[in-house]
Amino acid sequence: MTDIIRTTQLQDPGSSLITLYELEYSTGSFAYFYSGRAEFDGTTLENIRFREWRQEFVVGAEIEYVGIPIEAEGFDTSNDGAISRPTLTIANIGSVLSDSIGGLKPEELIGTKLTKRTTLEKYLVGGSGDVGPGLAPVEYPRTVYYIDRVKEKNIVNITFELAAPFDLQGVTIPRRVVIGGACPFKYKGAQQLVPPQARLGGCDWDSTFQSPSSSSVLFINDLDEYVISDTNLGQFSAWSGSSTKNSLYTTTSTADRYSADGLSTSPVTVTNYWQAITTGTGTPSDSDRGNWRRIRLYSIYSAGTTYYGYKQSGYNDYVKKLLGDLFKVKLITVDTSVNDNLKEGRYWTLGDVCGKKINSCTLRYNALELPGGSGIPDSNLNKTNHLRFGGFPGVQQRR
């Protein structure tokens, strides 16, 4: 640290200032990027390397930072006034950013930690001041921010607004925030399996039908679509022009499936699964919710199976471990070493997620199971069970 301060105090430090960014987009998974050397020497964007600083990794190891067009503003600090909320604008052309963060959507980065590192170019790997492997890098004090919101998104760039860890803006007393039409309860936060002292909110949903005579699991995704076991495939028949209430049907369409590189896509034929809400002749469609509901299928997880993601993410594969949670694949899982690690991260996300609307609560607590114990929901609902919905309908929604 002393060396870099002494160098900076010189009239001519003899080296350009470099700002590096490390985004922890999931626990233990990092994306490394910077604004590109073109900013300093007029050449094309290229990757650079700097030394690792974290004790939990190998201090002094080389880290590669990807060059991406970046515009950073508002990082100035002062001893008075409001806490600064910097913005980071990143080019949204191509797939460089998306590839670096495991295919996550910009909205999925809210709450993730961004570490800003600043050094001189000569201290990069291969530079005249490079400390070499095994030693802590020479740099200015690091600063940490959290992505607070997506401020702007268009086809050209994405702008994130950042907040300091100690920025308490938005913290209220009492801590329960009034949100119109959206439930603030933590999903499954009050399950019976959770110790009483650790329960949060009023959602005691346990992923089962609420009927005492049923023991089947019941999964619903964030789009309020029922996700049932693929052992029910034999219950589906190809739609041929008419439907019977509660019966299951299939149609086919084309979707873009990601290839093994996780970047390119190719069109494939996919099966759409439907349940008839009424008896009629209407064609199955997402827009005809009065007569049809879309059904998704999950399979029991197998380590030797390749699971696929699609550009139209609704078709992404769902899997479940025998006694575990439901997961939805993000990226094609061709590497079985990561395929076997079902957890929230680059390759997987939870598949049973609440939509936070009153309809999401209704579809869970009022769900009836069709006879036979197959886990197939009835199109009718049991309106006698009370809901745990914790929102405040009628209040303007801001989220």
Decide the pairing of beta strands 318-320 and 292-300.
parallel
- What tokens does 46 get? 């290229």
Give residue 149's pLDDT.
86
Decide: 277 and 291 in contact? Cβ < 8 Å: yes
d(CA 384, CA 72): 55
Q: How far apart are CA 358 and CA 292, in angstroms?
A: 19
Beta strands at 48-51 and 62-67: parallel, antiparallel or unpaired: antiparallel
Pairing of strands 29-34, 48-51: unpaired
Asked if residues 351 and 327 have their Cβ atoms less than 8 Å apart, the reply is yes
Of the candidates 244, 266, 268, 240, the one whose C-alpha atom is nearest the C-alpha of residue 254 is 268
pLDDT score of 182: 77
Closest-CA residue to 325 (of 193, 149, 234): 193
- Burial state string for 174-209 with b = 16 or more CB within 10 A and e = fewer than 16: eeeeebebbbbbebbebeeeeeeeebebebbbeeeb
Q: What six digits make up the tokens of 81?
A: 């006034």
- Sign for the CA dihedral angle at 187, 192, 197, 203 comes to positive
- Predicted pLDDT of residue 56: 75
Q: Which two tokens stand for residue 21?
A: 């960014």
pTM of the full predicted structure? 0.58
For position 10, what pLDDT does the model report? 67
Q: What is the pLDDT along the chain (399 residues), one digit of tens a residue?
A: 456 666 666 666 677 888 999 988 777 778 888 887 544 444 556 788 999 998 778 888 888 888 888 888 887 766 665 667 889 888 765 555 666 665 667 877 888 889 999 999 889 998 888 998 888 899 988 989 988 888 888 877 889 998 887 655 555 555 555 556 678 888 998 888 888 888 888 899 888 887 777 778 999 998 999 999 999 999 999 999 999 999 999 999 999 998 877 778 899 999 999 999 999 999 999 999 899 999 999 999 887 788 888 888 899 999 998 778 899 988 777 655 544 567 777 678 889 999 888 899 999 999 999 988 789 999 998 888 888 888 765 544 443
How far apart CA 127 and CA 358 sit, in angstroms, is 59
How many of the other CB atoms lie within 10 Å of CB of 376? Answer: 20
Name 328's bridge partners.
318, 349
What is the predicted pLDDT for the residue at 399?
38
Please give the pLDDT value at position 386. Answer: 87
Please choose, from the candidates 179, 47, 50, the residue with its C-alpha nearest in 3D space to the C-alpha of residue 121.
Answer: 50
| Number of CB atoms found within 10 A of residue 78's CB | 8
Q: Is 132 exposed, middle or buried (0-12, 13-18, 19+ CB in 10 A)?
A: exposed
Residue 23 has φ and ψ, to the nearest 5°, of -110, 120
CA proximity to 15, closest of 4, 31, 30: 4
Residue 313: its pLDDT value, please? 86
The rounded distance, in Å, linking the Cα atoms of 207 and 216 is 9
Q: For position 218, what pLDDT does the model report?
A: 93
